[in-house]
Homo-oligomer: A and B are copies of this chain.
Amino acid sequence: MLGLIRAGPLQNDYFAKDAIIKKEEHMVKVGVIGARGYTGEELIKILIKHPGVRLTYLAATLEKATPISEIFPHFKKRCDVKCENFSVFKASEQCDLLFLALPHTVSMDVVPAFVKKNKMIVDLSADYRLKNTGIYKQWYHKTHKDKKNISKFIYGLPELYREKIKKASCVANPGCYPTAAILGIVPALVSGFADREGIIIDAKSGVSGAGKKVALEYIFPEVNENFKGYKYNIHQHSPEINQELSKVTLSRVNVTFCPHLLPIKCGIFETIYIKLNKSVEPEKIEAVYRNFYKNEAFVRVKPLGNLPELKDVGGTNFCDIGLVVDASKKLLVVVSVIDNLIKGAAGQAVQNMNLMCGFDEEMALL
């Protein structure tokens, strides 16, 4: 067999690059609006390896059009798409599907035009996640400008809404904290043994969770060898978590959410404290979680008592879940970890795209 391989010509039919790059005409043309941020960067990294799409358009606020490999030198020899100032016209002309990696309150300015042109949209901002515009205004301090399109957007958590996403044209990609929180809490709530009151989420995030924000509190000397909490009870991801948990339980859930800043670039680690409303054997709780995610490619439930670490999910699209039960206190502690830029943003966005476009859900994500 080695002989065959070494001979060369034969296996070329099977392994050469050309064979893998499938016929151009069947590829989905995609664009990224907001290509310079950390999420945009990760999206590009995934999309250039995706066998089913062609990255045709990149936009960011720039003085002049610049190859993305000049903005991110690591893309040199890997991707030379030009990044240019945003134009609805060009974006629509060159793309079938658009990833909006824009700041909150900015996405809603560009979405209507794309909806009108029947483009597929994966919006990574918060603008179309909250269904109640009053709550949106309360937390994002701006009146929603595109109320009529909100209902078109499916909340893009495939583990809960896979079938809807498959049929959707517009997806609101979940926030990073909510992704880890919802995946960590939902099995307990739907199983009936968890108390929907008193849930506490002690969340820790890497600095990229704030985006590529240039502020004193994020410069290296302020972050390294430091750790701090912020926005206890007043973080804008609280209403998103509550909305989704309430939907699942058909009742009002109101979690306590306390986020912290870790001296790392990427990763979200949530320690979630859930009261049990009756005595349940720990093994049964594990079984509930394991069963809930048994067909999921990107959720991994650890053996009971075994905790995931951030490095288990760094650079991947996985959400790892650990379970510790204190039967005497009727307390379930769930640990839920993700890479905030992948499962918490770009990876999940591609997972949604895969579903929307009929690709294998795991494509380019394993």
Contacts and interface: CB of A to CB of B under 8 A. Distances in A.
A224 B265 contact: yes
A204 B225 contact: no
Interface in A151-196: none
Nearest to A38: B221
Nearest to A273: B200
Contacts of A221: 38, 206-208, 212, 265-266
Tell me the number of copies of this protein.
4
A55 interface: no
A257 B336 CA distance: 18
A277 interface: no
Tell which of A208, A225, A314, A324 has the most Cβ of chain B within 10 Å.
A225
Contact of A318 (B77, B224, B298): B77
Interface string A197-239: 0101010101110001111101111111111111011000000
A155 B241 CA distance: 43
A218 B220 contact: yes
Contact of A5 (B4, B26, B213, B225): B26
A204 B207 contact: no
B269 A5 contact: no
A87 interface: no
Contacts of A322: 229
B214 A215 contact: yes
Interface in A1-58: 1-2, 4-8, 10-12, 14-17, 19-20, 22-23, 25-26, 28, 38, 49, 51-52
Contact of A312 (B73, B220, B254, B326): B73
Contact of A363 (B17, B120, B214, B215): B17
Interface string A102-121: 00000000000000001010
A96 interface: yes
